[in-house]
Structure 1
C-alpha cells in the first residue's frame, strides 16, 4: 500500500513540475504575444459567428428537399462552426508568426492551440455517429481530454497517476487505468457489434426466403452473440481473468433464476413462439377481449396493435399458456357470421337469395368462396337466418365489414319489400272486464 501511494505521489509531483514550468514560460514576451493573438482570434471568431451564424441557419432552412442525414450533419456543423473558425484563425496566426520568426518556439503556443482546437472540432463531428446522447457526451469528453493531454505532453504523467491508483486483493490488482481501458475497449467493441447487428438485421429482414418468425429469431440470436462476445473480449483485452468471472456469473445466475422466474419464463416462451412459428409478425390474433395484429415480437412480450390504435404488450407466457385465436395462422381466409330475421309472410327462398346477393355486393366479401344463407329456426316474431361469408383481410377490421353487410341487407330488403319484424304484444279484454282510464289533474 505504501509503494502504491508513493507511486501516486511521484506522478503528481512530476505533473506539477511540468505545469509550473509551462506556466513560467507563459511570462516570456514572445509567449505573451501569442496569448494576445489567441485572445484576438477568439474575439474575431465570436464576431464572425454572430454575422455568419444566422445566415448559415437560413441557408439550411432553404434545403427542405435534401435527405435528412445531410440536414442533420449541416446542423451539427452549424453548432460547431465557431470552433472551426477559431481553429482556422489560430492556424493563420501560426502561419504569420512562422513568416516573421524563424524559430518554431516563437510560434509554439499558437500551433499547439490550433492543433488542439482542430482535434476538438473533428472529435465532436465524429462523435455524432453515436446515437445515444449520454454515451455521445462521454465519448466527446473522453476523447477531448485524451487529445488535450496528448498534445500538451501530459499523457505519460497522467497514465502513471492513473496506474498508481489501484485496489489489491491478494494477487489481483485493479487500477483506475485498467478500468478506463476496459470501458473504452468494451465501448468500441459494443459500437462495432451494434453496427454489425444493424447491418445484418436489415439484410435478414429483407430476405423473403426466411419466414418472419425465423428472421426475428436470427436477429435476436445474432445480437446476443455479438454483444456477449464484445463484453468478454473487452474484459480479456485489458487483462481481466475470466475464470473468476465465470464462477461469479454462475452464482449470480442461480440467484437470478429464483428471483426472476417470470422474466425467464417469458424469455423461454418467446424462443418457443419463434421456433414453432405459431405466431409471427403480421398475424391477426384474439386474446380475451384484445383483437389486433402482431406488430413486433420482443424478448419478453409481443406487441399487439388494435384497430383503435392501442398497443398492448402481452407477455410471451400468456400466449403459450392461454387460448389464442390466430385468424391468419395457416391462411388469411376468415369466415364471419351474421344473424337476422324476416317476417313469416316473406318467402324464405327469396330471402336467402336476396341475402346472398347483398353479401356478394360488398367489396371485401370473397366471391370465389360464395356466401351462404340458412334458416336457423322459427322464432316468436320472425324466421331466423344465418348469413356466412369469407374475407381475406382481417387486419382491415371485422366490425366494419359486418356493418357493411348489414347495410347491404337493409337496402336489398327495402328494395324487394322484405320486412324485418320486431316483437309485438296483443292485449285482449275478457268478457265482463271493465277498462278504466286514469284522469289527469
Structure 2
C-alpha cells in the first residue's frame, strides 16, 4: 500500500512539472504577440457570431422546402458559429504569418490554437450522433479534454498519473486509465452497433415476407447480439481479463436475480410473446378496461394506444398470465351485438327487416357477411331484440360504429313509425284530500 501511494505521489509530481513546463513554453515573451493574435481572432469571432446568428436564423425560417436533415445540420452549425469563425480566422492568420516568415516558431501558437479549435469543432459536431443529452455532453467534454491534453503534449504525464490510480483484486488490476480506455472503446463500438442495428431494422421491417412478430423478434435478437459483442470486444480490446469478470458478474448476477425477478419475467414473457405470435403490432386487444391497438412490442412491456390517444405500457407478464381478448388474432372479422326494444304494437317482422337494413346502410358494416336481428324476449314494456353485424377494421374503434348503427336505427324507426317505449310510472299520493274528494264524488 505504501509503495502504491509513493507511486501516486511521484506521478502527480511528474504531471505537475509537465504542466508547468508546457505553460512556460507557451508563455515565452517571444510568443506574446501570437497570443495577442489569437485573442483578437476570438473577439472578432464573438462579434461575427453576434452579427450573423440572428440573420442566419431568419434565413433558415424561410427554407420550408429543405429536408429535415439539412435543417438540423444548419442549426448545429448555427450554434457553433463563434467557433467556426475562430477556426477560419486562426488559420487565415497562420497563413498570413507563414507568407511573411519562414520560421515556424513565429507562428507556433497560432497554428496550435487553430489546430485545437478545429479538433474541438469536429468533436462537437460528431457528438451529435449521440442521442442522450447527458451522454453527449459527457462525451464532448471528455474528448475536448483529451484534445487539449494531446496537443499540449501532456498525454504522457496524464497517462502515468491515471495508470497509478488503480485497485487490485488479487491478480486482477483495474486502473483509471484502463477504465477510461474501456469506456471510450466500448462507446465507439456501441455507436457502430447502433448504426448497424438501425439499418438492419429498416431492412427487416421493410420485408413484407416476414411477419410483424418475427420482425420484432429478429430486431431484438440482432440488437442483443450487436450490443453484447460491442461490450465484450471493448473490454477485451483494452486488456480486461474476461475470466475474472465472468466470476465477478456471476456472483453479482445471483444477488440481482432475486431482486429483479419481475424484470426477468417480463423479458422472458416478451420472448414468448414473439415466438408464439399471440399478439403483434397492429392487433386490437382488450385487457381489463383497456381497449386499443398494439403500437409496438418492447423488451419489457407492450405499448397499447387507445382511441382517446392514451398510451398504456402493459408488462409482458400480464399478457402471458392474464386473459387477453385479441380482436384480430387469427383474422380481422369482428362481430358486434347491439340491443334495443320496440313497443308491443309494432310488427316484429317489420322491425327485424328495418334493423337489418339500417345496419347494412352503415359504411363500415360488412355486406359480405349477413346481418341478423333476433327477438331475445318480451320485456315489461317492450319487445327486446339483438342486432348482429360484422366489421373488419376494429382498429378504427368499436364505439363509433355502434353509434352509427344506433343512429341508423333511429332514423329508420322514425321514418316508418316504429316507437321505442320507455318506462311510464303513475305516482299516487296517499292521504291526499283532493284525491279522496274525487274518489267520494
Same structural fold, with TM-score higher than 0.5 when normalized by the shorter chain: yes
CA contact (8 A) 2:193 2:230 kept: yes
Change (3 A) 1:120 1:419: same
Uncovered stretches (5+) of structure 1, i.e. residues with no partner: 429-433
1:26-82 alpha-carbon deviations (Å, 9 max, x no partner) = 554431221222222222222222222222222222212211211111111111111
Structure 2 distance, partners of 1:8, 1:122, is: 34
RMSD of aligned alpha carbons:
2.2
Structure 1 distance, partners of 2:183, 2:70, is: 31
1:308-348 alpha-carbon deviations (Å, 9 max, x no partner) = 22222222222112211111111111111112222222222
CA contact (8 A) 1:167 1:175 kept: yes
Q: Cα distance, 1:13 vs. partner?
A: 3.7
Q: Which residue of 2 aligns with 1:323?
A: 323
User: What aligned pairs does 1:303-322 form with structure 2 within 5 A after superposition?
Assistant: 303-322=303-322
- Residue 260 of structure 1 pairs with residue 276 of structure 2: no
Q: Which residue of 2 aligns with 1:348?
A: 348
Change (3 A) 1:348 1:125: same
Q: Cα distance, 1:361 vs. partner?
A: 0.9
Change (3 A) 1:336 1:74: same
**TM-score calculated relative to the size of structure 2:** 0.92
Change (3 A) 1:95 1:426: closer
Q: Which residue of 2 aligns with 1:217?
A: 217
Following superposition, which runs of at least 4 residues in structure 1 exceed 6 angstroms of deviation? none
CA contact (8 A) 2:22 2:152 kept: no
1:388-410 alpha-carbon deviations (Å, 9 max, x no partner) = 11111112221221121111111
Q: Which residue of 1 aligns with 2:109?
A: 109
3-state SS, counterpart of residue 331 of structure 1 = coil
Q: Which residue of 2 aligns with 1:206?
A: 206
Change (3 A) 1:437 1:338: farther
CA contact (8 A) 2:284 2:328 kept: yes
Q: Which residue of 1 aligns with 2:197?
A: 197
CA contact (8 A) 2:189 2:234 kept: yes
Q: Which residue of 1 aligns with 2:77?
A: 77
Structure 2 distance, partners of 1:333, 1:340, is: 23
Q: Cα distance, 1:412 vs. partner?
A: 1.1
**TM-score calculated relative to the size of structure 1:** 0.92
Q: Which residue of 2 aligns with 1:431?
A: none
1:214-259 alpha-carbon deviations (Å, 9 max, x no partner) = 1111111111111111111111111111112222222222222322
User: What aligned pairs does 1:379-394 form with structure 2 within 5 A after superposition?
Assistant: 379-394=379-394
Is 340-349 or 231-240 further displaced after alignment? 340-349
Structure 1 distance, partners of 2:207, 2:17, is: 63
Change (3 A) 1:296 1:107: same
Change (3 A) 1:290 1:26: closer
CA contact (8 A) 2:26 2:109 kept: no
3-state SS, counterpart of residue 436 of structure 1 = helix
Q: Which residue of 2 aligns with 1:298?
A: 298
1:68-117 alpha-carbon deviations (Å, 9 max, x no partner) = 21111111111111112112222222222223322111211111111111
Q: Cα distance, 1:278 vs. partner?
A: 0.9
Structure 1 distance, partners of 2:23, 2:282, is: 68
Structure 2 distance, partners of 1:265, 1:128, is: 36
Q: Which residue of 2 aligns with 1:118?
A: 118
User: What aligned pairs does 1:328-339 form with structure 2 within 5 A after superposition?
Assistant: 328-339=328-339
Change (3 A) 1:403 1:47: closer
Q: Cα distance, 1:119 vs. partner?
A: 1.2
Q: Which residue of 1 aligns with 2:42?
A: 42
CA contact (8 A) 1:355 1:373 kept: yes
Is 128-137 or 91-100 further displaced after alignment? 91-100
1:351-380 alpha-carbon deviations (Å, 9 max, x no partner) = 211111111111111111121112222233
1:1-25 alpha-carbon deviations (Å, 9 max, x no partner) = 4544444444444444444444444
